[in-house]
Amino acid sequence: MDRISARTNYIITVKQKSHEYNSSQVRLRGGGIVMPPISVLMKPASGMCNMMCDYCFYCDETKKRTQQSFGFMKEETLKNIIRKTMLRAEGGISYAYQGGEPTLRGIDFFRRAVAYQKQYNKHGIQVQNAFQTNGYLLDEEWCRFLKDNHFLVGVSLDGIQEVHDAYRHGKDGRPTYERVVRATGLLDEYGVDYNILTVVNRRVAERIEDIYENFRRHGWKYQQYIACLDPLGEPHGQNEYALRPAEYGEFLIRLFDLWYADWQKRQQPYIRTFENYVSILAGYFPEACDQRGTCGIQYVVEADGGVYPCDFYMTDEYLLGNFNDCRLDALDERRRELGFIERSQKLSAECFACRYYHVCRGGCQRNRDWKLQQEAYENYFCSAYRMFFDACYGKLAGIAEELK
């Protein structure tokens, strides 16, 4: 399972130029304070899924906590989540639905979610909805609902059939690629906005040219590539699908070369990673959380209402509280007690001194390892980022300068 993406800003996002940011507020250089949008990610079907993916990071997490599944989210829990967050929101609010597989909860659940958003939106706050799915249950009714309610959809698909079917299986072990492609056809037919979400495992990295061309043929212009995660707290590179730093660095360079050639013709697809690097170099705040350098404030909610600071850390030790009996202030206080955001600021002196730090920012905390001698974190993919920026930084900077 992958992280949801959005070409609109569903995570805490500020796109105004020249901001300084901390975990609780945005301070403009001119002096005023702007509260960031509230970001809520829900798992209405917990970790339940109608597919089996070999590299699923959430399956790994659920096996490492006391209770693996919390079943289906109750409507009362949904109501409490939306009521408490909507009444607190100032700058906007985003709700993302993920799993497991959220469509298993049924379409009526999401109709109720939209109804609660309207009921509790007392101050005319801008609301964004995003939805990540494997596409298995999408039909005409789902597509009409997603279109009518302006949901941005992330569809998980790993490039080409051979690569996708190697790791993403149905419950019966059968291949899934063709069924997912049919789902994208339905989304196109109904005019639903969607992104393709691709996990960069070893096979994806090897076949990126074929994948890029396949995406072009299908007209999939909005793409997100997510580095495959090793199991939480386990050594890197132990699994067949594992992505190693040299492979990731080569992948980024080859993908960028394809994208840059299209950019020169002004025919490039939207690739979230590259768009955010260009945005950083142009002086904007990145909307992708893994490219900000420090973790932000999110409310990631299990089906029972339990809240965690990030969907990469939904284990017992990171539980902040429960929306059914906690106020947001209490959840935020528990996050501060854990030092969750502060931990992501502890990068090595070598990292801060790197000539690419201003654009790399140390990558995602989930890919960082604690170095005892340095008393700091270092990203497992550090050498991959160096490879990429050594090869591509000048072109990225040139694009940023042209856009400015």
pLDDT tens-place string over residues 145-162: 999 999 999 999 999 999
Place of tokens 């965690």: 308
d(C-alpha 331, C-alpha 283), whole Å: 32
SS3 of residue 15 by DSSP: coil
The pLDDT value recorded for residue 26 is 40
pLDDT of residue 30 exceeding 70: no
| Per-chain mean pLDDT for the chain | 92
DSSP β-bridge partners for residue 196: 155, 223
Chain CA centroid to CA 64, Å: 21
Residue type, 146: L
Q: Over 90: is that where the pLDDT of 325 sits?
A: yes
pLDDT at position 404 is: 83
- Backbone φ, ψ for residue 23 (5° rounding): -70, -15
Catalytic residue among 2, 158, 230, 311: 311
CA distance 152 to 154: 7
* pLDDT score for 16: 28
- Averaged over 140-144, what is the pLDDT? 98
- Domain borders along the chain are 35-133+298-344
**Tokens linked to 244:** 């190693």
Predicted pLDDT of residue 58: 97
Q: What's residue 362's pLDDT?
A: 97
For residues 93-110, average pLDDT = 97
| Token pair listed for 379 | 């990203």
Q: In this structure, which topology does domain 35-133+298-344 adopt according to CATH?
A: TIM Barrel (3.20.20)
Query: Mean of the pLDDT values across residues 301-325?
Result: 98
pTM here is 0.91
Q: What is the pLDDT of residue 25?
A: 40
**Residues 6+ positions from 301 with CB-CB distance below 8 Å:** 40, 41, 42, 43, 81, 307, 308, 323
Residue 172 known to be catalytic: no
pLDDT in tens, 257-275: 999 999 999 999 999 999 9
Q: Report the alpha-carbon distance of residue 307 to residue 100 in Å, rounded.
A: 16
pLDDT at residue 22, rounded to an integer: 34
Share of the chain above pLDDT 90, in %: 90
80 Cβ contact partners less than 8 Å away, ≥ 6 residues apart: 305, 323, 324
pLDDT at 23 (0 to 100)? 34
Question: How distant, in Å, are the alpha carbons of 45, 77, 106, 146, 179 from that of 141?
Answer: 19, 25, 11, 9, 17
Helix axes 140-148, 177-190, angle to 10 degrees: 50
Position 35 scores a pLDDT of: 58
pLDDT at residue number 118: 97
What's the rounded mean pLDDT across residues 134-154? 98
Cβ(131)–Cβ(95) below 8 Å: no
SS3 label, residue 323: coil
Please state, in angstroms and rounded to a whole number, the distance separating the CA atoms of residues 77 and 206.
Answer: 43
